[in-house]
Amino acid sequence: MPVSNPDRRTLLASTAMLGLGTWVAGCSHVGTPKDTLVQAFAFDDIITLDPAASFEVSGGEVLGNTYERLVGLNLDAPGEVFGVLAQSWEVSADGQVFSFTLKPGLRFASGNALTAEDVVFSLQRAVRMDKTPAFILTQLGLSKSNVEEKVRQTGPLTLQLQIGKPFAPSFVLNCLTATVASVVDKRLLLAKAQNEDWGAAWLKLNHAGSGPWTLRDWRANEILVLERNEQFHGPKPSLARVIYRHVKEAATQRLLLEKGDVDIARNLAPQDLLALAKSSEIQLTQTPKGSLYYLGLNQRHPLLAKPEVREAFKWLVDYEAIGATLIKGIGVPHQNFLPLGLLGASREQPFRLDVDRARALLAKAGLSQGFKISMDVRTVQPVQGIAEAIQQTAGRAGIQIEIIPGDGKQVLTKYRNRRHELFIGDWGCDYWDPHTNADTFTRNPDNRDDAKNRPLSWRNSWEIPELTRQSDAAVLEQDPQRRIQMYETLQAEFRRSSPFVMIFQQTQVAGVRRQVQGFRIGPTSETTLMAPVSKA
């Protein structure tokens, strides 16, 4: 059964007993234990480790390793799914009923049997809790009022999911690969529930999954420890534990990696990659990610709501210089809401740095003297460097940007409540289908403050009934070629009128010491898996 978080002294004592105390306390350069993978990773964005509520990039990786879902993404052919907990599934002739049969003999880390009852409970729990990621399930036609009827157990190892529209089956299955569809231990969670919270308060810091790893400890902005799940039904990891050390500075990560105090560095900067490429002890691995970095302009601000101002910002980013310096080796300039690799992603890049053009647009908006505005920025690279670069180029057109720094939780909380003016950050795909990004960038069915769904378009107060209608039609289109055309049309309008300045698509890079084998960065956060990793 998972243990609750110990206090600081208890954890330090336990890690010292494991032979890890030296580097936790200050790095004595003795290397890492052979049965332990140690990673330097900036994870200050984690708010909770409850899969029904977590919606952050770093949390997605942790939950992808500690929980399982009915189906998973095929890393060798993204877009295809395979059975994880599901042994098989069938789709009804009308495309609206999905019937799943589970593999026999499954168990949670607690030792409790994993049955169809737990799967049904997990999906119903996520919908009823109605936290940010619940929209991935509710978009299928599930709601608090109907989820008990739509998601139901039909046998000890069988269940049915009834959806509201005849979506393409691949879209539905891809939704079920998302973190929010993780299966939790019903018996354990109900025992931990307080005031009808579905066990959410306890699960924020604890574990109730069946994945190859369990959560040993998480201390925000310090350390996160995973331990091997001895109850795991699949091939057990060869490593005993995986430790994430919160290290924000790329240069510090590189130093720790070079000295052998960590096995993997995950947030390296371009200058670090150039130096590490010369090392015989370290290998670099690179994977295109479905993550995009962008600037969001809150349309509640009367100046940012002017179409000329929105367009001016798109001409005030030096995409070429950013690509050649701040993101060299870790990303490529990209100006569309669909990342390359997804169906229908556009390669069009019409914008470049053009201060004169931006000045003309500002003058047309009656702002020839410019204006002052603030930008909320997570203090991690390359975000901070890009924010400073935009601050400089915008200043040349008379826009004075005040950068407001903060850690991931502070910045995201403010952004999610629409209290920003400008926000610079990233967005990663929740599942490998174009609707995952259309649903957040070009859909905003309800722009009211108390809206049930709050996509990025809502966060930036962009009211778009026509684009919402087009996005809804695209996800129902069965013809792949016609669907591609629909997403190309959406992206063209998005480039023209949106309050988003798309900056680049991430290439995730890691520096890996040569004794580490089997490490692979996935196309989504949830698919960077630690179970196959070993150390020579």
Q: Residue 30: its pLDDT value, please?
A: 64
Cβ 443 vs Cβ 455: under 8 Å: yes
Tens digits of per-residue pLDDT, 134-178? 999 999 999 999 999 999 999 999 999 999 998 988 899 999 999
Cβ 352 vs Cβ 534: under 8 Å: no
Tens digits of per-residue pLDDT, 466-518? 999 999 999 988 788 999 999 999 999 999 999 999 999 999 899 999 999 99
Mean pLDDT of the chain: 92
Same domain for 156 and 115: yes
Q: Is the pLDDT of residue 12 over 80?
A: no
Query: Cα(143)–Cα(162) distance, rounded to whole angstroms?
Result: 12
Tens digits of per-residue pLDDT, 66-107? 999 999 999 888 778 999 999 999 999 999 999 999 999 999
What residues are paired with 403 via a beta bridge? 375
Q: Residue 111: its pLDDT value, please?
A: 97
Residues in CB range of 421: below 8 A, 6 or more apart: 297, 298, 301, 304, 373, 374, 375, 376
Same domain for 235 and 306: no
Tell me what the mean pLDDT of segment 2-11 comes to: 34
Which pairing describes strands 241-246 and 371-378: parallel, antiparallel, or unpaired? unpaired
Tens digits of per-residue pLDDT, 430-449? 888 999 999 999 999 999 99
What burial class does residue 144 get, using C-beta atoms within 10 Å of its C-beta: 0-12 exposed, 13-18 middle, 19+ buried? middle
Q: Is the pLDDT of residue 7 over 90?
A: no
Q: Residue 4: its pLDDT value, please?
A: 34
pTM to 2 decimal places:
0.77
Same domain for 216 and 143: yes
- Confirm whether 14 is domain-assigned: no
- Confirm whether 263 is domain-assigned: no
Tens digits of per-residue pLDDT, 324-362? 999 999 999 999 999 998 889 999 999 999 999 999 999
Which pairing describes strands 97-102 and 86-91: parallel, antiparallel, or unpaired? antiparallel
Q: What's the token pair of residue 70?
A: 């009915």
Q: What's the token pair of residue 102?
A: 């589970």
Same domain for 501 and 518: no
- Confirm whether 13 is domain-assigned: no
- Domain range spanning residue 466? 289-508
What is the number of domains present in the chain? Answer: 2
Question: Which CATH number fits the domain that encloses residue 59?
Answer: 3.40.190.10
Tens digits of per-residue pLDDT, 275-311? 899 999 999 998 888 899 999 999 999 999 999 999 9
pLDDT band for position 211 (cuts 50, 70, 90): very high
